[in-house]
Amino acid sequence: MHTFLYVKCNFFVHSHCADSSDSPSPPLSFPTFTMDRPLLRRMSASGCCSYSTLKAWLPILSWLPRYKLKWLQMDLLAGITVGLTTVPQALAYAEVAGLPVQYGLYSAFMGGFIYTLLGTSKDVTLGPTAIMSLLCFSVVGGQPHRAVLLTLLCGLIQAVMALLRLGFLLDFISFPVIKGFTCAAAVTIGFGQVKNILGLKDVPHQFFLEVYYTFYKIPEARIGDVVLGLLCLAVLVMLMFMKMGLGSEDVPPCSRLARKLVWAVTTMRNALVVVAASLVAFSWDAYGHHVFTITGKTSQGLPPFRPPPTSDTMANGTVVSFGEIVEDFGGGLAVIPIMGLLESIAIAKAFASQNDYRIDANQELLAIGVTNIMGSFVSAYPVTGSFGRTAVNSQTGVCSPAGGIVTSVIVLLSLEFLMPVFYYIPKACLAAVIICAVAPMVDYHVVANMWRIRKLDLLPFVVTFLMSFWQVQYGIIAGVAVSGAMLLYNMARPQIKVSDHGVLVMELSSGLSFPATEHLSHIIHTQALQVSLPRSVVLDCHHVSVIDYTVISELRDLLRQFKLRDVQLVFSRLQPSVLEVLLAADLQGLRHTDSVEAALQMESENLLND
């Protein structure tokens, strides 16, 4: 016998990659697999190893056979552009993570190779980000060995979630919680770089202490750092607004060339500013004037490929075991993998919608997990998708994930040949890059929107925002707890619309689950059973799709109470699955109708007969 597997594929087509002379089939495809579960259970061992199943785990097999040399030009251009953006950002984000700058580059190249094999979005680029850097620092406190071990554990957690298809758990983190966290993270990261703009030293990293000591030590600010930092900040902001102000591409050829030149300069603004600032610092240093705080000596060359350390040695020689390190990680070991997945999948979905293709969320989990696992062998700290670099990738016209390979090669070349040059990068310049990168994350419009649409959603937003200034992971946990409590309250206290038609009609506005049984029982008792003249009730169950044993037990007691008072409880508009459960429960006195009108007519006939 042959086992057949039905596979539903959704393809993306990108305008830059289309060719009217080619066949109608799209140039690249990323499949989203829809499989019939009974069919899966009947699959033979050979079916599990079929080519279709292999393509599900290795999406590169779906688009590589269609790859053409025409798209290589766009992928090379996008990869180089993103690479020139990645290198300065990676150096800067390592500062946020409290790690030597080379660790930013160690974390920036593995994602390009792994995502090409396992990713389902042509646009997403994986690497260090501001948020993940902040989370990493909050957990490991700038200790490189622990950061690398954290990467391995995060990757394992993410990969296991992908294999067990647990991506749905991310749906329980609400939008207000995510926005509250990102806004707080942007403020924390941005203000954390003010000390580097001012050239201050020995400022604590805890946010409130950092604010206090930054203002306290302003008299100690270094003039050179302040001038250079503000100048870099002004240039970056100016170039950012220039890019935002670029008009339509529908312009004369000469203007189109100028527009492309401006776009290229503004897109690579981070690299250009870092190079210019480094030249300035080198020039002053060459003449013996040390007026800038520079990055200093960094490790040259590629990182060794080796397993991450499973223990750590303190400065006093004390060996910290693996179990003790994991215990020190605490809640961060849950927060970092989940926030990494959230950030990357949100970015992938946004650009998939924008460019008209589909992604597989669980496959994205696997790609991020494997990237972190493999990254831990090259001394990387946890990575995720970068919105800024993904936007650059998409706008440059990337045609496939292969653009990430070009980006990774540029990072590797920088590690091998340019590390001595990074010695002269001023910290004030990197601080300006970081501030400009995180500033758009402070989305004050979302507060106004939540206030206008549903004010209660501001509660988890505010709780997450404020708690994140204390400890980042506590902010996320508190926000999830508040939004979870709100969700459970809505389940336990569903709205019940009561109308009087001679008989009370109670309509449940949402489902009926076991937390809501006590509420429903209380409403029925206070309005129908415990009044001076007990009344019959028609329970409109149109919105009830699931019912459990706790609800059955409460309904059995209610039917008994109605019978003792010589009134009726009638169920109307039951879903077939719910009716099947009620009949299986063999409830005495169970009466049901197909409509509310039929139930009212039944009660009217009973009153006339009485």
Residue 171 pLDDT > 90: no
Q: Which residues pair with 569 in a beta bridge?
A: 537
C-alpha–C-alpha distance, residues 448 and 252, integer Å = 41
Homologous superfamily assigned to 496-608: STAS domain (3.30.750.24)
Buried b (16+ CB within 10 A) or exposed e, 80-113: bbbbbbbbbbbbbbbbbbbbbbbbbbbbbbbbbb
| Residue 229, pLDDT score | 93
- The per-residue DSSP string of 264-316 comes to HHHHTHHHHHHHHHHHHHHHHHHTT---S-B------SPPP--PPPSSEE-TT
pLDDT in tens, 366-387: 999 999 999 999 999 999 998 8
| Residue 212, pLDDT score | 92
| Residue 251, pLDDT score | 62
* 15: DSSP letter: G
Compute φ and ψ for 608, nearest 5 degrees.
-65, -40
Position 342 confidence tier, pLDDT thresholds 50, 70, 90? confident
Global pTM reads 0.73
Q: What is the Rg, in whole angstroms, of the alpha carbon atoms belonging to the chain? A: 30
In one-letter notation, the amino acid at residue 166 is: L
| Residue 306, pLDDT score | 93
C-alpha–C-alpha distance, residues 530 and 535, integer Å = 9
Using an 8 Å Cβ cutoff, are 99 and 144 in contact?
yes
| Residue 42, pLDDT score | 41
Residue 29 three-state SS: strand
Residue 324 pLDDT > 80: yes
| Residue 387, pLDDT score | 83
Residue 596 pLDDT > 70: yes
| Residue 170, pLDDT score | 76
Kind of pairing between the strands at 384-385 and 496-500: unpaired
What are the CB-based long-range contacts (under 8 Å, 24+) for 188-192?
188/134, 188/468, 188/469, 188/472, 189/96, 189/130, 189/131, 189/133, 189/134, 189/434, 189/438, 190/434, 190/435, 190/438, 190/439, 190/442, 192/96
Position 1 confidence tier, pLDDT thresholds 50, 70, 90? very low
C-alpha–C-alpha distance, residues 432 and 210, integer Å = 18
pLDDT in tens, 269-311: 888 898 899 999 999 988 888 889 888 877 878 999 999 988 8
Using an 8 Å Cβ cutoff, are 88 and 108 in contact?
no
pLDDT in tens, 407-416: 999 999 999 9
* 441: DSSP letter: G
pLDDT in tens, 460-518: 999 999 998 887 778 888 998 999 999 888 888 888 999 988 889 999 887 788 888 89
Residue 16 pLDDT > 50: no
C-alpha–C-alpha distance, residues 553 and 341, integer Å = 41
| Residue 55, pLDDT score | 80
Residue 435 CB-density burial (10 A; 0-12 exposed, 13-18 middle, 19+ buried)? buried
Using an 8 Å Cβ cutoff, are 544 and 576 in contact?
no
Query: pLDDT > 90: what percent of the chain?
Result: 40
Residue 34 pLDDT > 80: no
| Residue 250, pLDDT score | 63
Structure tokens at 473: 């992971």
Average pLDDT, the chain: 85
Mean pLDDT of 256-267: 84
Compute φ and ψ for 273, nearest 5 degrees.
-65, -40
Residue 136 pLDDT > 90: yes
| Residue 224, pLDDT score | 92
Residue 8 pLDDT > 90: no
Query: Which residues, at least 6 apart from 316, have a Cβ–Cβ distance to it below 8 Å?
Result: none
Residue 333 pLDDT > 70: yes
C-alpha–C-alpha distance, residues 302 and 296, integer Å = 18
Residue boundaries of the structural domains of the chain: 68-247+256-295+323-441, 444-492, 496-608
Residue 350 three-state SS: helix
Helix (H) or strand (E) holding 326: helix 322-329
Which of the two residues, 256 and 516, has the higher pLDDT score? 516
Helix (H) or strand (E) holding 145: helix 144-163
Mean pLDDT of 186-214: 88
Position 268 confidence tier, pLDDT thresholds 50, 70, 90? confident
